[in-house]
Chains A and B, each alone.
Chain A
Amino acid sequence: MLIQNVYINGLSSVSAQATFDETFLEGNVLAPTAEYRKAIDPEYKQYLNPTASRRFSKLIKMSLVAAQKSIAMADGVMPEAIITGTGLGCLEDTEKFLRSLIENNESMLSPTAFIQSTHNTISGQIAMMITCYHPNYTYSNRYFSFESSLLDALLMIQDNSCKHVLVNAADEVIPATHTILKRMKLWDRSESIRKNDSLPVTIGEGVVSMMVSSEKNVTSLAAIKAFKLVYILPQEKTIEEILNQFLEEASLTVEDIDVLIVGMNGEEASDALYAPVCKLFDHSTQLVYKHLFGECFTASSFAYWLAVHAIHKKKIEPACILSDKGHKSPKRVLVYNQFRGKYHSFCLLTDVEV
C-alpha cells in the first residue's frame, strides 16, 4: 500500500535500552543484566500523578509516559484517534486477579486488578489522561498487534477521517510468563546462545509511542511511504518478488534502500527466512535489534524507533549493525519483520524531504 503525506511527528520509547532519554543513540548500550530484557523505568513521578499511578502496573505507566512524550514532541496536538497494539496485554494485573481468584476460591475479590487487566486499559488510560473523546482501538494479534494498529492509523489518515493518530506498541514481561515462554521454547535465550551462529535474543518488553500525522511541520521526524502486511506468503510468489513489487509501487528499486532493519530473533529456522531478503539488499546497511531489546509480539516497534532516528538524527548504533555498507545519512529505511514464515510486515520510512 502506497502512502501519501503521512509523517511521524512525535516518537518515544521505554525499553530495555536507554531509549526514553535517547542516550542509546550516543552509545549508551546496556548489556543484559536480568534474565529477560527488562525495560528501564523512567522517572514516572515527573510525568504522572503519584497517587493515581500507584495502582498502575508497569505496562500502563510505561505507556502513559511514552504517550505523553510523543504527544509533546508533536507540539502537544490532541490525537484524533488512539490505537494500541499489545500481544499479551496487561499481564501483571491479569495474573494478580487470576491468582487471587484461585487462592480465594472465587470469593472476596477486589475489582482493581480485573479493571486494569483488559487489553484496552492502555488506550483507555491514555484517553483519560488527555481527555480524548476520539476513536480508541486496541489490537491484539501476535506479531501483527502493532502493525494492525499502524495500518488502521494509516487507513484513517488516508480516508481523511483524522489528521493525527497516536499509535502505540506495548508489552510487558512478568516472571510467570517468562518461565512459561521458556518452557514453550519461545524467544528463549539459552536456545539461541547454544546455537552460536544465531543472535543471543531473549524475551523483552517495552513501549513505543508515535504520533502519526498528515501534517508535515518542523517537528516531523520521518515519513511513512509504503506499508504492507501479509499473514502467509502466497505460494506462487517468492519473498523477493513481493519486495520488488512493494518497491516498484513506490517507484523504487532495491538500490534505493539505504538501510534494511530485519527482525532476526535468534531462532535459526525463522531467521533463515531473512537470508534471501538480506541477499536482495546486499548493498544496504543491515541492522538487527532484538538482541538488545528482546523479543515479544510487539518487538518490531523498536525497529521503527531505530529507523526514525537513523533518518532524522543520522545515528546508527554500531551494536545494531549486521552488515555495514557505509550509509551515514540514510534517506530510505525498510523495516521487515516476520515470525516462522508468518506475519510478514514491510514498512518504508523516509526522510521528510524525500
Chain B
Amino acid sequence: MSARVLITGIGSVSSIGLSIQELTDSILKSKTGVSNTTRLDSILARTLPTAQIQLSDQELKNKLSGLSPKHVYSRTALLGMLAAQEASNMAGLTSHDLISAGLVSSSSAGGMDKGEFFYEDYLKSSTKGNLKFALTHDCGDSAEQIAALLNIQHYITTISTACSSAANAMIHAARLIKSGMCDIVIAGGTDAICKFTINGFNSLMILSDEPCQPFDKNRKGLNLGEAAGYFVLESEASVKRRGAKPLAVLSGYGNACDAYHQTASSPNGEGAYLAMMQAIKVSGYAPAEIDYINAHGTGTQNNDLSESVALKRIFETLPPVSSTKAMTGHTLAAAGGIEAVMSVLAIQNGWIFPNKNFQEAIEETGIIPVTELQTNKSIKHILSNSFGFGGNNSSLLISAC
C-alpha cells in the first residue's frame, strides 16, 4: 500500500500552448486561446468562438516520431500522444518503467473527429467511407495509440464520463497505485473538437457567441476547446527507487453523482458539494487549508450558479477562486487534465490564475473570482473541479510535496 500518490510528470497540449513551456509562457501573458479562427470545417465553428489548436492533424503527427505514415490517427489520439509523451519525458521514465506501467486515459467523444467524416461518406452508400477512419472511432483507440507510442503493456483503460473524464482517470490511477497493482500510471484526458460536439452543445443552447465569462452575472455560455492533459502518477516507493523528483501530490479526490438531470446541474449543487467534500475528506486537510480553487466554471448559467452554491455551502470564507476556461475554452474530457496540470504549475510557481472576462458577480452568490494573474503566492493545496453530463462530478485535491 502506498500512502501517497505523487505526481512526477505533466504534459499538455492546448490552444494556449503545445507544451508545458508554451503553456507557462501563455499564463504569464494571460493569453487566451479563444478566437474566431477555425481549423475545423464546420459552419458553427465559423460563427462561434472556439479555442482550437491551430495545427492540422499532419502537423501534429509530424511532432511525434515513430508513427506509421500510412496509419490514420484520430486528432484525439494525436493530442493525447503529445501530452502523454511530454509527461513521461518530464518524469524521466525509461522503457523498462513504461513497459510495466499502467495507462488510464479518458475521452468524451474518442475518435469522433474521424468517425463523423467516415459516416458522411457512409450515409451516401454503405459500401463507402474509409474504414481506417472508422477504426479510430471508439474511445479505446486513442488509449491503444498512446500505449503503442510509449510501449505501455501492463494495463490500459479509458474513462468516458463527459467533462469529468480526466479527473476520474486520475482517481482510478490513484486507486491502482494505492492498491499496489501499479507503481507508475500515466493518466489524463484528451478530446479534439469536432462537428458532433460543437453541434451537440449548440443544440443545448449553451454555447456563447462571445468569449465566455465564467462566474459573471451576464454570462452567455461556454466556448468549446480542444486539449490533452496527462500526468505521471507514482507510488512513493517507485519515486524513491528511481530517484525522481516529485512535482506535487494527488492528496485527495472525490466523485459523486448529482442524480438530478442528464445534462443540467441541481440548484443546490449537491453532486459538486459531495465531490468536493469527499476530496477534502480523503486528503485529511481542512477546507480552511485550501489556498486556491480552480473551478469548473464553464460560463453557462446553470453550471456557474450551481457550482457557486456548492462552494458557498462548503467554505465559510471562500479561498481565491477562478476558472481558466476563458483561456483554454472548455476542453471536455481534457478539462480536468489540463486544469490539474495548471494546478501543479500554480503550486510550483506560486500562481493564481485569472478568471478572464469577469465583470459583475452573480447576484445569488456574489462570488468575485480572481481576475488578474497573481504571482509570489504561497500555494500548498488546490481544489480542482470537473463536472459533467450525466451528473458526473469530480474534484481533485493537489498539494505541494
Contact = CB atoms under 8 A, between A and B. Distances in A.
A94 B110 CA distance: 12
Interface string A235-276: 000000000000000000000000000000000000000000
A340 to B, nearest CB: 12
B390 A141 contact: no
Given A116-B262, A144-B157, A101 B196 contact: yes
Interface string B384-400: 00001111100000000
A231 B156 contact: yes
B155 A231 contact: yes
Contacts of B134: 180, 184
Contacts of A111: 200, 203-205, 263
Interface string A202-222: 000000000000000000000
Interface in B132-184: 134-135, 138-141, 143-144, 147, 152-162, 168, 172, 175-176, 178-179, 181
A128 B270 CA distance: 13
Interface in A115-165: 115-121, 123-125, 127-128, 131-142, 144-145, 148, 152, 155-156, 158-159
A51 interface: no
Contacts of A102: 116, 119-120, 123
A183 interface: yes
Interface string B280-294: 000000000000000
Interface residues of B, number: 69
Contacts of B314: none
Nearest to B110: A140
A82 interface: yes
Interface in B347-401: 388-392
B179 to A, nearest CB: 5
Which of B43, B162, B262 has the most CB atoms of chain A within a 10 A radius of its CB? B262
Contact of B271 (A119, A133, A140): A133
B199 interface: yes
Interface string B202-237: 111100000000000000000000000000000000
Which of A115, A119, A142 has the most CB atoms of chain B within a 10 A radius of its CB? A119
Contact of A141 (B123, B126, B131, B158): B158
Contact of B138 (A1, A87, A132): A87
B108 interface: yes
A117 B115 CA distance: 14
Contacts of B389: 115, 118, 120-121, 124
A98 B158 contact: no
A109 B44 CA distance: 12
A140 B138 contact: yes
Contacts of B179: 1, 155, 158-159
Interface string A177-201: 0011001100000000000000000
A131 to B, nearest CB: 5
Nearest to A82: B257
Contacts of A138: 159-161, 390, 392
A127 B391 contact: yes
B259 A132 contact: yes
A310 interface: no
A353 interface: no
B161 A230 contact: no
A315 to B, nearest CB: 33
Contacts of A107: 43
A152 B174 CA distance: 11
B199 A89 contact: no
A232 B138 contact: no
Contacts of A54: none
A142 B138 contact: yes
B258 interface: yes
A95 B105 CA distance: 24
B255 interface: yes
A152 B152 CA distance: 20
Given A127-B391, A141-B143, A184-B135, A135 B256 contact: yes
A243 B143 CA distance: 26
Given A128-B391, A140-B160, A114 B200 contact: yes
A179 B126 contact: yes
A163 to B, nearest CB: 16
Given A82-B257, A180-B122, A229-B155, A115 B43 contact: no
A106 B116 CA distance: 12
B260 interface: yes
B274 interface: yes
B157 A139 contact: yes
Contacts of A142: 138, 140-141, 144
A136 B271 CA distance: 11
B22 to A, nearest CB: 30
A145 B140 CA distance: 9
A97 interface: yes
Contacts of B202: 109
Contacts of A144: 140, 156-157
Nearest to B143: A141
A183 B160 contact: no
Given A88-B138, A99-B123, A116-B262, A139 B43 contact: no
Contacts of A99: 119, 123
Contacts of A88: 138
Contact of B140 (A123, A125, A135, A141): A141
Contacts of A319: none
A135 B257 contact: yes
Which of B127, B129, B160, B205 has the most CB atoms of chain A within a 10 A radius of its CB? B160
Interface string B243-269: 000000000000111111111000000
A97 B196 contact: yes
A133 B270 contact: yes
Contacts of A134: 256-257
Given A111-B203, A124-B391, A137-B159, A118 B108 contact: yes
15 contacts: A102-B116, A109-B199, A110-B203, A115-B262, A123-B392, A128-B262, A128-B391, A132-B259, A139-B159, A140-B140, A156-B175, A176-B119, A230-B155, A231-B152, A232-B153
Given A158-B179, A184-B134, 10 more contacts: A82-B257, A111-B200, A125-B262, A127-B257, A138-B390, A141-B139, A142-B138, A159-B175, A159-B179, A184-B135
